[in-house]
Amino acid sequence: MFPKGTKRKFSDSGEEPVPSGEQGQPAPSAAARTLSSSYSLQRQSLLDMSLIKLQLCHMLVEPNLCRSVLIANTVRQIQEEMTQDGTWQIMTQALAAAQCPADRLVATEVLCRQTDMAAQAGQSPKPFSVVGLEEGYHSEEVVMDGDGDTEVTMSTLSTVSPQLSSASYLPGPFGMGPCWEEEEEEGECEEDEEEDSEECVSEGEEADRDHLTGDSRTGEQVFGTFEIKHPAPPPDPALEELFSDVDASYYDLDTVLTGMQSAPKMGPYDLLESLSSHGPTALSSSTSCRSDLNELDHIMEIIVGS
């Protein structure tokens, strides 16, 4: 918890994702750090989107294997890159510590329904899952909805924040180079992802219940990797205390610090609500949406701390 008015210092190198392949070099410049944290954010959102896609399977008809394989390969690719960066380990450790009991990282599992075993077991459709991830990871997406148990979601988000450096974090153009799309697309993606994750959670949860009544082991393997398997854990009393200290004036300082001077006074939840009210747009979307999300992250970091 930081005293009011203090900008959080740039965190240790241990928490910073190092641009891949540059292990032995001197600490990158502030601009490079900014770029890499933006890139991480984009990469993260692509990962989230991909996981949602893998999870949302058609319950009546078999899912398209080609599509599932391509999405799973994308997830693997991201995971490999994040592992090289060191962000993968940080994220999984942080999530494990913050939320659910540390389940083992489920090994790569493909639960294609067409396997003979599954057929004999009379299994319902399972999505093609590649790398299993802890449930806690998925619950991060719930944050974006702005609904539900906020204490839980806040704590989850806080563990993701070490990736982002608040001091050097500036809302700016992505301009990432060949790997990523233009700014507008990212903002749009994240918006829609919020809406998707809402549906995803409810659909997935229903599916989870259905499947867990079957062979519970395989059901858990499939959906356990993506679902919030456990009910929300009791809120951390320390975090509740954290929230009780927050008041409106603190937000004002944030907005000043981040240069969002013209923005109306609003808290993080207001921000979430205003974002979720944006309908899905055509391919063009406003850059302000994306910068709003940057602000949200920034605010979260300051409030919750590292």
Partner 1 sequence: MLFGRSGGDMQWCLSQAKGSLDDDVTEADIISTLEFNHTGELLATGDKGGRIVIFQQEIENKRQPQYRSEYNVYSTFQSHEPEFDYLKSLEIEEKINKIRWIPQKNAAHFLLSTNDKTIKLWKISERDKRPEGYNLKEEDGRYRDPSTVTSLRVPVFRPMDLMVEASPRKVFANAHTYHINSVSVNSDNETYLSADDLRINLWHLEITDRSFNIVDIKPANMEELTEVITAAEFHPHQCNTFVYSSSKGTIRMCDMRASALCDKHSKMFEEPEDPSNRSFFSEIISSISDVKFSHSGRYMMTRDYLSVKIWDLNMESKPVETYQVHEYLRSKLCSLYENDCIFDKFECCWNGNDSMVMTGSYNNFFRMFDRDHRWDVTLEASRENSKPFQVIKPRKVCAGGKRKKDEISVDSLDFNKKILHTAWHPQDSIIVVATTNNLYIFQDKMN
Asked if residue 179 binds partner 1 (CB under 8 A), the reply is yes
- Looking at residue 237, its amino acid is P
- Supply 204's token pair: 């997935």
- Find the part of the chain contacting partner 1 (CB under 8 A) among 104-112, 149-157, 227-235, 261-269: 104-112
Is residue 78 within 8 Å of 43, Cβ to Cβ?
A: yes
Asked if residue 21 binds partner 1 (CB under 8 A), the reply is no
What's the min distance (Å) between Cβ of 64 and partner 1? Answer: 7
Residues in CB range of 226: below 8 A, 6 or more apart: 51, 54, 55, 129, 133, 135, 138, 204
- Supply 110's token pair: 């493909």
Asked if residue 186 binds partner 1 (CB under 8 A), the reply is yes
Options 9, 29, 62, 175; binder of partner 1; rule CB under 8 A: 62
Is residue 228 within 8 Å of 139, Cβ to Cβ?
A: yes
- Supply 173's token pair: 């153009």
Asked if residue 110 binds partner 1 (CB under 8 A), the reply is yes
Residues 67-86 that bind partner 1 (CB under 8 A): 67, 69-70, 72-74, 76-78
Asked if residue 115 binds partner 1 (CB under 8 A), the reply is yes
What's the min distance (Å) between Cβ of 157 and partner 1? Answer: 22
| DSSP code per residue over 237-281 | HHHHHHHHH--HHHHHHHHHHTT-TTSPP--HHHHHHHHHTSPP-
Options 33, 85, 113, 150; binder of partner 1; rule CB under 8 A: 113
Options 13, 29, 64, 83; binder of partner 1; rule CB under 8 A: 64
Residue written as token pair 């949302």? 56
Please give the residue ranges that form the binding site for partner 1 (CB under 8 A). 43, 46, 49, 53, 60-62, 64-67, 69-70, 72-74, 76-78, 107-110, 112-115, 118-120, 122-125, 128, 130, 178-182, 185-186, 188-189, 192-193, 282-284
